[in-house]
A = this chain, B = another copy of it.
């Protein structure tokens, strides 16, 4: 198969786009796609202060790389979760994030759960009611809290994450299969900072397939952590990804179409804005000041105040 732009040998064939590209043109094409998404969904400008959440994985490091190549000034935030899983998962992902920052002369904020809050995610999961069974809920909650906190304290305009199309489609699938209205209403490529104390959030990779991001990282020679988080094994989101992969295999483009037609239906007015009952209860947490819909303290602070 040949590159559509130059007829050199193609390194990737994207069936859903009917597009094959060589290394050189692929490494140009990806940032173009990201730039388009940033522009289309009004995510941020080059004049704004950008914070990228980096995990050491292919998506977030590639995103940071792409933003740098597109000349968006972006600092990184690494959150040390204290997960070992037999492979030094957190240490290794910290090392790779720091290595990428150093190689590219970028600034990386680091917040370590144990240093800052006295407990790792696995310990927190063991101790708290919310954590029982699986630490993923505690982990998601903690990451959201810390990302908001750093963005707020350091006055970033926007918080950017490396969620790719497969991530977004899997979340959408999970929310759709159970028709969770309030989650459907809130899922978007960009979430405005419409509550005091929250930064705008953006997902510039939301239209790029996971395999495309893996190919990008590989071809750019980015050194990233290959392992999934050891706690993610057997998770519902991975199960939904597999189902969507089956669909995609049989109908190329199905995943992208599922996500984009959702966004279109949403902007076309399919959903009623009154469908979100949580919005009315938002108030600042008395401990940390972040907005919450929980009664009293926010869910993060409650884990530590007991």
What is the interface of chain A, defined by CB distance below 8 A to chain B? Answer: 176-181, 184, 239, 243, 246-247, 250, 254, 257-258, 261-262, 264-265, 268-275
Contacts and interface: CB of A to CB of B under 8 A. Distances in A.
A274 B268 CA distance: 10
A250 B268 CA distance: 34
A212 B179 CA distance: 25
Contacts of A257: 177-178
Interface centre among A239, A246, A275, by most B CB within 10 Å? A275
A270 B184 contact: yes
29 contacts: A176-B176, A177-B247, A177-B254, A177-B258, A178-B257, A178-B258, A178-B261, A179-B258, A179-B261, A179-B262, A179-B264, A179-B265, A180-B261, A181-B265, A181-B270, A239-B250, A243-B243, A243-B246, A243-B247, A265-B275, A269-B272, A269-B274, A269-B275, A270-B271, A270-B272, A271-B271, A271-B272, A271-B275, A272-B273
- How many copies altogether? 2
A280 to B, nearest CB: 14
A33 to B, nearest CB: 22
Contacts of A179: 258, 261-262, 264-265, 270
A47 B272 CA distance: 37
